[in-house]
Chains A and B, each alone.
Chain A
Amino acid sequence: MTNLSDRQLLKELKDGLQERTKYEQEVNMLSQELQDVTKRFKESEALKSHFISNISNEIVNPFTSILGLSKSILQVEKNDWKKVVSMVALIHSEAFNLDFQLRNIFVAAKIEAGEVVPNIAKVNVRNIVQTIIESFSLVARKMGIDIEFNYNIEYGFGKNFYFKTDSEKLKLIMSNLLNNALKYSFKDSKVIITMTADEDSLNISVQDFGTGISEKNQKVIFERFKRLDSGINSINRGHGLGLSITKALLDVMGGHIEIASKKGEGSTFTVRIPEAKNVVEGFSGEGNDIFFDDDDEIF
């Protein structure tokens, strides 16, 4: 040990103190972060249990109606066949809804398990959107809503425009957007779907003239399980997963979503999806040896 002068000693102490304050600050920051995370977990847990009670209704109710309706069909007298048509229509709409909800739930589970990967192919995007519109046409007709499809892509092969993307994910995104647009529309209005493309991306917007979303709520709607009208008196069904799934799927595809909305005037959701680059399917099965050369650093 060397002898320190008073001044040096003072300086050392001061440095030490400063260092300690720095660590203290860091510890404070970390514990703050920890508290934040815990709080969010708690909130999320509450939402999750709400979701479970919600979802059991979503699944049990349609099943009960499907069972009941099909039972009454079996009991219908032959000359009463006209009754059957309306009951079959009801069965179809219940089953359609159930199918849609279940699909969303399974995809959400897959995303949370980290099993969702892009699956790129050349996709006829016009066709996909038309299929989705077609599948919702019964729901739309029942509500008297007109679905307009503006297809504004001029180039491509004749009428068809092929775009490299993931068709299943695009379908689910479109279904969710259209489902929401219909759900929050007023009777006898319309929904406009517009599709445009520029050099390397595809833009699809879905516009409704329904209830609209206030600016404050526009931030919340992408959160999982969150529904703006999740009271017991809510007229709309759903589990609040649709938009968070949409966002997560867009994440995988490298796209993003925007909202433009005014309360009472309707909302427009626009998704923008970049064209996938030629995907290399993994990498070649042969020639593994090249990956571990002698000069490579191996950990």
Chain B
Amino acid sequence: MNQYYQHFLYPSTLFASKEPYMVKTILGSCVAICLWDPVVKAGGINHYMLPNWNGNDLASPKYGNIAIEKLLERLYALGCRKENLQAKIFGGGDLIAADRSAMLIGERNIRVARMILEEKKHSDSSLQYRWPKREENPLFYRYWGGKAQIH
């Protein structure tokens, strides 16, 4: 088995590289989008907490619409091509079962991911997503080959 570098991805941050990496992150209602370009062999992942930027805070990757754009920017800078990127969406669980109707953060996080990725035509058939129910699940994302795993 190949040797991988390792990286722990904190919420509101992004990571992208051409080196083979194993990235670990822990998701609840947050969403992580893993992108992988099999041609250039580079990939990246983000971890955002809320769907849309409120326009007030710093425009950080805490917000989905910003985190996705910024991750794409990074990947383009690494030479990735729009048409080659494969996307996988993880997380978006609904942690607080009690106020289902009120917030639905997880669901809204997923929706933003799908909307933006579909709009950018990154999704293809490789679009997969999954919700960990009511618990925080660590996600391991292996860069090389764009494989991801929920532990």
Q: Which residues does A use to contact B, with CB under 8 Å?
A: 33, 36-37, 39-41, 43-44, 108, 111-118, 222-224, 226, 244-245, 247-248, 251-252, 280, 282-283, 285, 288-289, 291-292, 296-299
Is B60's CB under 8 angstroms from A111's CB?
A: yes
A113 — which chain B residues lie within 8 A by C-beta?
A: 14, 61, 70
Q: Which residues does B use to contact A, with CB under 8 Å?
A: 1, 3-4, 6-8, 10, 12-14, 22, 24, 46, 52-62, 65, 67, 70, 88, 90, 128, 130, 140, 142, 147-151
**Closest CB in chain A relative to B54 CB, distance in Å:** 7
Q: A113-B70, A117-B13, A251-B12 are in contact. Are A296 and B151 (CB under 8 A)?
A: yes
Q: Which residue of B lies closest to A42 (CB)?
A: B55
**Closest CB in chain A relative to B117 CB, distance in Å:** 15
**Closest CB in chain A relative to B15 CB, distance in Å:** 8
B53 — which chain A residues lie within 8 A by C-beta?
A: 37, 40
**Closest CB in chain B relative to A48 CB, distance in Å:** 9
Query: Could you count the A-B residue pairs with CB atoms below 8 Å apart for me: how many are there?
Result: 101
Is B149's CB under 8 angstroms from A112's CB?
A: no
Docked pose: A288 CA to B77 CA in angstroms: 29
Docked pose: A251 CA to B58 CA in angstroms: 12
A280 — which chain B residues lie within 8 A by C-beta?
A: 8
Q: Which residue of B lies closest to A286 (CB)?
A: B3
Q: A116-B13, A118-B10, A291-B22 are in contact. Are A248 and B57 (CB under 8 A)?
A: yes
Q: A114-B12, A288-B4, A288-B22 are in contact. Are A44 and B55 (CB under 8 A)?
A: yes
Q: A114-B67, A297-B150, A299-B148 are in contact. Are A292 and B58 (CB under 8 A)?
A: no
**Closest CB in chain B relative to A253 CB, distance in Å:** 11
A36 — which chain B residues lie within 8 A by C-beta?
A: 52
A282 — which chain B residues lie within 8 A by C-beta?
A: 6-8, 24
**Closest CB in chain A relative to B63 CB, distance in Å:** 10
Is A112's CB under 8 angstroms from B4's CB?
A: no
Is A222's CB under 8 angstroms from B56's CB?
A: yes
